[in-house]
Amino acid sequence: MQKKIPWYEITPEETYQNRRDFLKSAALASLSLSSLSQASESNLDYLPATQSNLPGALAADELTPFEHVTGYNNFYEFGANKQDPIKNAHRLTLSPWKVDVGGLIDRPAVYDVDELIKGLGLEERIYRLRCVEAWSMVIPWVGVPLSAVLDRLGVQGSAKYVRFETLYRPSEMPGQKTLFSGIDYPYIEGLRIDEAMHPLTILAVGLYGKDLLGQNGAPLRLVVPWKYGFKSIKSIVKIELTEEKPLTTWAKSAPHEYGFYANVNPKVSHPRWSQARERRLPGGVFSPNIIDTQMFNGYADQVASLYSGMNLRTNY
């Protein structure tokens, strides 16, 4: 099979000028060499991204190097520290991986993960990821629009929300054995149906052209780039279409701090810290790369209309 080359690896002369113009315009001028060498091991066949993935690109919007994307993670099931997931997640058994799809859907079944996305055509999407803890990255995901998966399964008219569940397997997920993590397992997330069907919302199976690693939510995770990172639930085993708004993990654990919507919003502070700015990773220990947080994480043009008339201060 002929491999498609992601845009950040293309250097033939005829595209050089275009690429230069693009790099200037998208402000992606200094990709790290380590990212490029990691990316060249691509095993997935996908449609490479274009600059249209990063609307309103900032000078700071360079790809976050592979080793940071895969080495600094929030995945409480593998431990509460940022380095715990990379230490523990490689033990996760990824095959077989079944996804139970149910609720208000025409074709409910337990699907093999490959079956769920088969034939939909993988695409690369370069998105900002803004954690509620006020750090952020830029990640080249590979995945499929969630809408494509749901359309094929036949969402029923009465469905108002999608509820997602992460694997519960304490034997392989040490964080699920501790009583002090502050959250209940399995990890639950949810979207309103229009958010789920929005073209920016994807189910990712890879990043940097390769299969997802355990620490990033292998083999299947949600990515919703205009919301705080905790909405982007990892290692999904259950998808349910519901009429009721799902009770999500963080909203249940600390409802005054984390809401169902969790849209990135620099004007609405977390009760314990401001959300006006963020630390873009990597950045040096002594020179953190602090930038302004953008409304809806820079995707307002595409998603603001989903929330017209809604009070974003009370619906945080």
Ligand X SMILES: Nc1nc2c(c(=O)[nH]1)N[C@H]1C(S)=C(S)[C@@H](COP(=O)(O)O)O[C@H]1N2
**Binding Mo ion by CB under 5 A: which of 75, 208, 230, 296?**
230
Site membership for Mo ion, residue 143 (CB under 5 A): no
- Nearest approach, Cβ of residue 216 and ligand X (Å): 4
Interface with ligand X (CB under 6 A), residue total 17
Distance separating the N- and C-terminal Cα atoms of the chain: 46
Q: Return the range that interacts with Mo ion (CB under 5 A); candidates 26-34, 228-236, 247-255, 296-304.
A: 228-236
Tell whether residue 111 is a contact of ligand X (CB under 6 A).
no
Query: What are the start-end ranges of the H helices in the chain?
Result: 13-26, 33-39, 66-69, 84-88, 113-117, 146-153, 193-196, 249-253, 300-303
* Closer residue to Mo ion, CB minimum distance, 105 or 264: 264
Total residues in contact with Mo ion, by rule CB under 5 A: 4
CB atoms within 10 A of CB 107: 9
Does residue 131 touch ligand X according to CB under 6 A?
yes
* Rounded-to-integer distance, Cα 84 and Cα 215, Å: 9
Question: Which is it for the CA torsion 95, 100, 105, 108, positive or negative?
Answer: positive
Count of helix runs (H) and strand runs (E) in the chain: 9, 12
Does residue 282 have a cis peptide bond before it, meaning omega lies within 30 degrees of 0?
A: yes
Distance CA 212, CA 225 (A): 17
73 forms part of the interface with ligand X (CB under 6 A)? yes
Tell me if 211 sits within 8 A of 46, measured CB to CB. no
Interaction between residue 134 and Mo ion (CB under 5 A): no
* Residue 187 interacting with ligand X (CB under 6 A): yes
Measured CA to CA, the distance from residue 13 to residue 10 in angstroms comes to 9
Residue nearest to ligand X (CB): 229
What is the secondary structure of 51-104 as a DSSP string? GGGSTT--TT-PPPPHHHHTTS---GGG-SSTTHHHHHGGGS--SS-EEEEEES
- Give the residue with the Cβ less far from ligand X, 6 or 229: 229
State which of residues 131, 193, 291, 304 lies at the interface with Mo ion (CB under 5 A).
Answer: 131
Q: Does 280 bind ligand X (CB under 6 A)?
A: no
Nearer to ligand X, 8 or 76 (CB): 76
- 35 in contact with ligand X (CB under 6 A): no
Question: Applying CB under 6 A, which of residues 233, 237, 239, 295 lies at the interface with ligand X?
Answer: 233
Q: Which of 48, 65, 85, 229 binds Mo ion (CB under 5 A)?
A: 229
250 lies in the binding site for Mo ion (CB under 5 A): no
Residue 226 engages ligand X in binding (rule: CB under 6 A): no
Q: List contacts with Mo ion (CB under 5 A).
A: 74, 131, 229-230
Q: List contacts with ligand X (CB under 6 A).
A: 73-77, 129, 131, 166, 187, 216-217, 229-230, 232-235
